[in-house]
Structure 1
Amino acid sequence: MNLTAKRKSRWPVSARRGLMENVATAIIAIGFLMLFQPFALALYTYSFITMLAGTAMFIIVSKFPE
């Protein structure tokens, strides 16, 4: 029997990988939409920073436990 599978994780449910990867993907998608919208220059200005933050978050979160 695998003892590590039965052990309870100490990570909170909100900090688990599945949910946080979805949040990071949503941030990347928001940055992409900000980049390709033709209306507000301020959104275009911060689109790269938003996508960069989402990408960094995704890389970090991918190391979290399941």
Structure 2
Amino acid sequence: MSRTVVSKRSSWPRWARRGLMENIATALIAVGFLMLFQPFALSLYSYSFVTMLAGTATFIIVSKFPE
């Protein structure tokens, strides 16, 4: 007895799928973390929270995307 698996084709573009976008959001969180703990520029420190917040919000939204 043979089973055939039908793959459902997503209408989402390849760049908007979960894998790539989750990696970008994770990188954005990491950049915000590095900006928070660097001792050189006050402007980077000032925008670190906003950067981490944007990365976290992006990750939450992207986690609902199809694979």
TM-score, normalised to structure 1, is 0.92
Distance in 2 of aligned mates of 1:42 and 1:2: 57
Q: Does 1:35 align with 2:22?
A: no
Aligned length: 65
- Identity of paired residues, percent? 74
Instruction: Summarize deviations over 1:18-50 as a string: whole Å, max 9, x none.
Output: 000000000000000000000000000000000
Runs of 5+ in structure 1 lacking a partner?
none
Q: Point out the structure with max Rg over C-alpha.
A: 2
Name the residue aligned to 2:27.
Answer: 26
Evaluate the alpha carbon distance shift between residue 10 and residue 45 of structure 1 in structure 2; reply closer, same or farther with a 3 A threshold.
Answer: same
Distance in 1 of aligned mates of 2:43 and 2:4: 53
Amino acid at match of 1:62: S
Q: Give the root-mean-square deviation of aligned CA atoms.
A: 1.4
TM-score, normalised to structure 2, is 0.91
Cα distance, 1:7 vs structure 2: 2.2
Relative to structure 2, which stretch is displaced further, 53-62 or 5-14? 5-14
